[in-house]
Amino acid sequence: MSLIQLIRGILAYLTIPPLTAAVCLGAIADVHWFRKSKEKAQIFPRTWGKVLCHIANITVRVQGKEHLDPAKPYIFIGNHASMADIMSFSGYIEHDYRWIAKKELFAIPIFGPGMRAVDFISIDRSRGREAVKSLNDAAKRIASGASVILFPEGTRSADGRLQPFKTGAIMLALKAGVDVVPVGFNGTHQAIPKGKLLSRGGDVVLRIGTPIPTKEFKAKDKQMLAELLHQKVAELLDECHRPLPESQNSPIVSAEAEG
Protein backbone atom coordinates (compact mmCIF):
# COMPACT_ATOMS: atom_id res chain seq x y z
CA MET A 1 0.00 0.00 0.00
CA SER A 2 1.40 3.40 -0.98
CA LEU A 3 1.81 6.19 1.56
CA ILE A 4 -0.94 8.22 -0.13
CA GLN A 5 -3.34 5.29 0.00
CA LEU A 6 -2.43 4.66 3.64
CA ILE A 7 -3.29 8.27 4.45
CA ARG A 8 -6.58 8.02 2.52
CA GLY A 9 -7.42 4.79 4.31
CA ILE A 10 -6.79 6.37 7.71
CA LEU A 11 -8.85 9.43 6.77
CA ALA A 12 -11.75 7.28 5.59
CA TYR A 13 -11.69 5.25 8.81
CA LEU A 14 -11.57 8.35 11.00
CA THR A 15 -14.33 9.99 8.95
CA ILE A 16 -16.90 7.25 9.57
CA PRO A 17 -18.08 8.31 13.08
CA PRO A 18 -18.44 12.08 12.47
CA LEU A 19 -19.85 11.61 8.97
CA THR A 20 -22.40 9.07 10.23
CA ALA A 21 -23.47 11.42 13.02
CA ALA A 22 -23.74 14.37 10.61
CA VAL A 23 -25.77 12.36 8.09
CA CYS A 24 -28.12 11.09 10.82
CA LEU A 25 -28.67 14.59 12.23
CA GLY A 26 -29.22 15.97 8.73
CA ALA A 27 -31.79 13.26 7.95
CA ILE A 28 -33.62 13.84 11.24
CA ALA A 29 -33.81 17.59 10.65
CA ASP A 30 -34.83 17.18 7.00
CA VAL A 31 -37.64 14.71 7.73
CA HIS A 32 -39.03 16.53 10.76
CA TRP A 33 -38.62 20.21 9.84
CA PHE A 34 -37.68 20.78 6.21
CA ARG A 35 -38.73 18.64 3.22
CA LYS A 36 -40.54 16.12 5.46
CA SER A 37 -40.08 13.33 2.92
CA LYS A 38 -38.43 10.01 3.81
CA GLU A 39 -37.96 9.28 0.12
CA LYS A 40 -36.06 12.53 -0.46
CA ALA A 41 -34.08 11.90 2.72
CA GLN A 42 -32.39 8.94 1.00
CA ILE A 43 -29.90 11.52 -0.25
CA PHE A 44 -28.26 11.33 3.19
CA PRO A 45 -27.24 7.64 3.17
CA ARG A 46 -26.27 8.02 -0.50
CA THR A 47 -24.04 10.95 0.39
CA TRP A 48 -22.53 8.90 3.24
CA GLY A 49 -21.58 6.11 0.83
CA LYS A 50 -20.21 8.37 -1.90
CA VAL A 51 -18.11 10.47 0.48
CA LEU A 52 -16.53 7.43 2.12
CA CYS A 53 -15.80 5.78 -1.24
CA HIS A 54 -14.21 9.00 -2.50
CA ILE A 55 -12.01 9.46 0.55
CA ALA A 56 -11.04 5.77 0.55
CA ASN A 57 -10.11 5.97 -3.17
CA ILE A 58 -12.73 3.40 -4.18
CA THR A 59 -14.09 3.91 -7.70
CA VAL A 60 -17.53 2.39 -8.23
CA ARG A 61 -19.24 1.37 -11.49
CA VAL A 62 -22.76 -0.06 -11.71
CA GLN A 63 -23.70 -2.43 -14.54
CA GLY A 64 -27.20 -3.69 -15.33
CA LYS A 65 -29.27 -0.75 -14.09
CA GLU A 66 -31.46 -1.20 -17.14
CA HIS A 67 -32.89 -4.37 -15.56
CA LEU A 68 -34.67 -2.35 -12.87
CA ASP A 69 -38.10 -0.72 -13.03
CA PRO A 70 -37.90 2.45 -10.87
CA ALA A 71 -41.55 2.02 -9.88
CA LYS A 72 -41.21 -1.54 -8.53
CA PRO A 73 -39.99 -2.78 -5.14
CA TYR A 74 -37.28 -5.44 -5.14
CA ILE A 75 -35.27 -7.52 -2.74
CA PHE A 76 -31.63 -7.24 -3.82
CA ILE A 77 -29.64 -10.38 -2.99
CA GLY A 78 -25.87 -10.01 -3.00
CA ASN A 79 -22.60 -11.59 -1.92
CA HIS A 80 -21.04 -10.04 1.17
CA ALA A 81 -17.28 -9.63 0.85
CA SER A 82 -16.46 -6.37 2.60
CA MET A 83 -17.53 -3.24 4.44
CA ALA A 84 -17.12 -1.66 1.01
CA ASP A 85 -20.29 -3.53 -0.08
CA ILE A 86 -22.35 -1.25 2.14
CA MET A 87 -20.46 1.89 1.16
CA SER A 88 -20.70 1.25 -2.59
CA PHE A 89 -24.33 0.11 -2.63
CA SER A 90 -25.38 3.02 -0.41
CA GLY A 91 -23.64 5.55 -2.58
CA TYR A 92 -24.20 4.35 -6.12
CA ILE A 93 -27.49 2.44 -6.36
CA GLU A 94 -30.11 5.03 -7.28
CA HIS A 95 -33.13 2.73 -6.90
CA ASP A 96 -35.26 3.74 -3.91
CA TYR A 97 -34.51 1.12 -1.25
CA ARG A 98 -34.03 0.68 2.52
CA TRP A 99 -31.54 -1.17 4.68
CA ILE A 100 -32.66 -3.79 7.18
CA ALA A 101 -30.97 -3.50 10.59
CA LYS A 102 -31.24 -5.43 13.82
CA LYS A 103 -33.50 -3.73 16.36
CA GLU A 104 -30.69 -3.12 18.88
CA LEU A 105 -29.11 -0.55 16.54
CA PHE A 106 -32.25 1.60 16.69
CA ALA A 107 -31.58 2.18 20.40
CA ILE A 108 -28.26 3.95 19.74
CA PRO A 109 -28.53 7.75 20.25
CA ILE A 110 -28.46 9.78 17.00
CA PHE A 111 -27.85 6.64 14.93
CA GLY A 112 -31.20 5.04 15.79
CA PRO A 113 -33.32 8.15 15.18
CA GLY A 114 -31.33 8.74 11.99
CA MET A 115 -32.20 5.27 10.71
CA ARG A 116 -35.86 5.83 11.54
CA ALA A 117 -35.77 9.15 9.71
CA VAL A 118 -34.69 7.45 6.48
CA ASP A 119 -37.17 4.63 7.06
CA PHE A 120 -34.75 1.75 7.68
CA ILE A 121 -36.48 -1.50 8.64
CA SER A 122 -35.99 -3.00 12.10
CA ILE A 123 -35.83 -6.76 12.53
CA ASP A 124 -35.58 -8.90 15.67
CA ARG A 125 -32.85 -11.50 15.17
CA SER A 126 -33.63 -13.41 18.36
CA ARG A 127 -35.72 -16.57 18.36
CA GLY A 128 -39.39 -16.91 19.23
CA ARG A 129 -42.63 -15.04 18.66
CA GLU A 130 -41.11 -11.55 18.44
CA ALA A 131 -38.65 -12.66 15.76
CA VAL A 132 -41.46 -14.16 13.67
CA LYS A 133 -43.55 -11.01 14.11
CA SER A 134 -40.68 -8.74 13.05
CA LEU A 135 -40.06 -10.92 9.98
CA ASN A 136 -43.73 -10.70 9.03
CA ASP A 137 -43.73 -6.93 9.60
CA ALA A 138 -40.63 -6.54 7.41
CA ALA A 139 -42.25 -8.63 4.67
CA LYS A 140 -45.34 -6.39 4.77
CA ARG A 141 -43.17 -3.27 4.48
CA ILE A 142 -41.40 -4.72 1.45
CA ALA A 143 -44.64 -5.87 -0.18
CA SER A 144 -46.07 -2.36 0.25
CA GLY A 145 -43.23 -0.87 -1.78
CA ALA A 146 -39.98 -0.78 0.24
CA SER A 147 -37.04 -2.31 -1.64
CA VAL A 148 -34.24 -3.77 0.51
CA ILE A 149 -30.78 -5.31 0.17
CA LEU A 150 -29.99 -8.65 1.85
CA PHE A 151 -26.79 -10.67 2.22
CA PRO A 152 -27.84 -14.34 2.61
CA GLU A 153 -24.30 -15.45 3.49
CA GLY A 154 -24.95 -13.86 6.88
CA THR A 155 -21.42 -12.52 7.32
CA ARG A 156 -18.55 -11.21 5.24
CA SER A 157 -16.52 -13.75 3.29
CA ALA A 158 -13.02 -14.21 4.69
CA ASP A 159 -11.43 -14.83 1.29
CA GLY A 160 -13.80 -12.80 -0.90
CA ARG A 161 -15.37 -15.89 -2.49
CA LEU A 162 -19.12 -16.49 -2.48
CA GLN A 163 -20.13 -18.55 0.57
CA PRO A 164 -23.21 -20.76 1.12
CA PHE A 165 -26.55 -18.96 1.48
CA LYS A 166 -28.68 -19.20 4.61
CA THR A 167 -32.39 -19.55 4.01
CA GLY A 168 -33.64 -16.90 6.47
CA ALA A 169 -33.26 -14.13 3.89
CA ILE A 170 -34.93 -16.33 1.30
CA MET A 171 -37.95 -16.82 3.58
CA LEU A 172 -38.29 -13.04 3.86
CA ALA A 173 -38.32 -12.81 0.07
CA LEU A 174 -41.00 -15.48 -0.16
CA LYS A 175 -43.15 -13.78 2.49
CA ALA A 176 -42.85 -10.40 0.74
CA GLY A 177 -43.71 -11.86 -2.67
CA VAL A 178 -41.73 -9.27 -4.65
CA ASP A 179 -39.12 -9.93 -7.34
CA VAL A 180 -35.60 -10.72 -6.15
CA VAL A 181 -32.61 -9.22 -7.93
CA PRO A 182 -29.17 -10.91 -7.81
CA VAL A 183 -26.25 -8.49 -7.33
CA GLY A 184 -22.57 -9.28 -7.70
CA PHE A 185 -20.12 -7.20 -5.65
CA ASN A 186 -16.77 -7.31 -7.43
CA GLY A 187 -13.58 -5.77 -6.07
CA THR A 188 -14.94 -4.87 -2.64
CA HIS A 189 -12.93 -7.60 -0.89
CA GLN A 190 -9.74 -6.27 -2.40
CA ALA A 191 -10.68 -2.73 -1.35
CA ILE A 192 -11.33 -3.59 2.32
CA PRO A 193 -10.69 -7.26 3.19
CA LYS A 194 -12.52 -8.73 6.16
CA GLY A 195 -10.55 -8.06 9.35
CA LYS A 196 -8.87 -4.95 7.95
CA LEU A 197 -9.77 -1.42 9.00
CA LEU A 198 -8.11 0.62 6.28
CA SER A 199 -9.11 0.80 2.64
CA ARG A 200 -6.66 -0.27 -0.03
CA GLY A 201 -8.66 1.58 -2.68
CA GLY A 202 -9.34 0.20 -6.12
CA ASP A 203 -12.12 -0.40 -8.65
CA VAL A 204 -15.46 -1.85 -7.59
CA VAL A 205 -18.08 -3.12 -10.03
CA LEU A 206 -21.66 -3.80 -8.94
CA ARG A 207 -23.40 -6.08 -11.45
CA ILE A 208 -27.18 -6.17 -11.31
CA GLY A 209 -28.87 -9.25 -12.69
CA THR A 210 -32.33 -9.86 -14.10
CA PRO A 211 -35.19 -9.78 -11.54
CA ILE A 212 -36.60 -13.19 -10.59
CA PRO A 213 -40.32 -13.43 -9.68
CA THR A 214 -40.97 -15.18 -6.35
CA LYS A 215 -44.73 -15.65 -6.58
CA GLU A 216 -44.33 -19.04 -8.26
CA PHE A 217 -42.31 -20.29 -5.28
CA LYS A 218 -43.84 -21.57 -2.02
CA ALA A 219 -42.30 -21.81 1.44
CA LYS A 220 -41.38 -25.45 0.73
CA ASP A 221 -39.35 -24.22 -2.26
CA LYS A 222 -36.99 -22.03 -0.20
CA GLN A 223 -34.01 -24.31 -0.83
CA MET A 224 -34.71 -24.31 -4.57
CA LEU A 225 -34.93 -20.51 -4.67
CA ALA A 226 -31.81 -20.17 -2.53
CA GLU A 227 -29.86 -22.42 -4.92
CA LEU A 228 -31.11 -20.47 -7.93
CA LEU A 229 -30.12 -17.14 -6.37
CA HIS A 230 -26.72 -18.50 -5.33
CA GLN A 231 -26.13 -19.57 -8.94
CA LYS A 232 -27.29 -16.22 -10.36
CA VAL A 233 -25.11 -14.21 -7.96
CA ALA A 234 -22.11 -16.42 -8.82
CA GLU A 235 -22.65 -15.71 -12.52
CA LEU A 236 -22.32 -11.97 -11.80
CA LEU A 237 -18.96 -12.36 -10.05
CA ASP A 238 -15.43 -12.26 -11.38
CA GLU A 239 -13.61 -15.60 -11.19
CA CYS A 240 -11.74 -14.61 -8.02
CA HIS A 241 -15.06 -14.15 -6.16
CA ARG A 242 -16.84 -17.30 -7.33
CA PRO A 243 -17.03 -20.31 -4.99
CA LEU A 244 -14.36 -22.93 -5.40
CA PRO A 245 -15.52 -26.04 -7.33
CA GLU A 246 -15.50 -28.28 -4.25
CA SER A 247 -17.86 -25.88 -2.41
CA GLN A 248 -20.41 -25.62 -5.20
CA ASN A 249 -22.02 -28.93 -4.26
CA SER A 250 -23.52 -27.44 -1.08
CA PRO A 251 -24.29 -23.77 -1.77
CA ILE A 252 -27.04 -23.59 0.87
CA VAL A 253 -27.04 -23.65 4.67
CA SER A 254 -30.35 -24.95 5.98
CA ALA A 255 -32.46 -22.91 8.38
CA GLU A 256 -31.66 -25.41 11.15
CA ALA A 257 -27.94 -24.77 10.71
CA GLU A 258 -28.18 -20.99 10.83
CA GLY A 259 -27.91 -20.87 14.63
Nearest-10 crossing angle of helices 43-55, 83-92? 120
Number of folded domains that form the chain: 1
pLDDT at position 114 is 94
In whole angstroms, give the CA distance from residue 46 to residue 201. Answer: 19
pLDDT at position 258 is 45
Q: What are the C-alpha distances in Å from 169 to residues 173, 202, 249? A: 6, 30, 20
Share of the chain above pLDDT 70, in %: 93
pLDDT at position 231 is 95
Q: Tell whether the model's pLDDT for residue 128 goes beyond 80.
A: no
In whole angstroms, give the CA distance from residue 121 to residue 139. Answer: 10
CB atoms within 10 A of CB 45: 24
Beta bridge partners of 207: 63, 184
Residue numbers of the domain that contains 87: 3-257
Q: What is the pTM of this model?
A: 0.90
> Residue 174, Cα to own-chain centre: how many angstroms?
18
Tell me the pLDDT tens digit for each residue of 15-63: 999 999 999 999 999 999 998 898 899 999 999 999 999 999 999 999 9
Tell me the pLDDT tens digit for each residue of 161-201: 999 998 888 888 888 889 999 999 999 999 999 999 999 99
pLDDT at position 256 is 43
Q: What are the C-alpha distances in Å from 250 to residues 216, 247, 254, 257? A: 24, 6, 10, 13
Q: What are the C-alpha distances in Å from 160 to residues 56, 86, 244? A: 19, 15, 11
Q: CATH number, domain at 185?
A: 3.40.1130
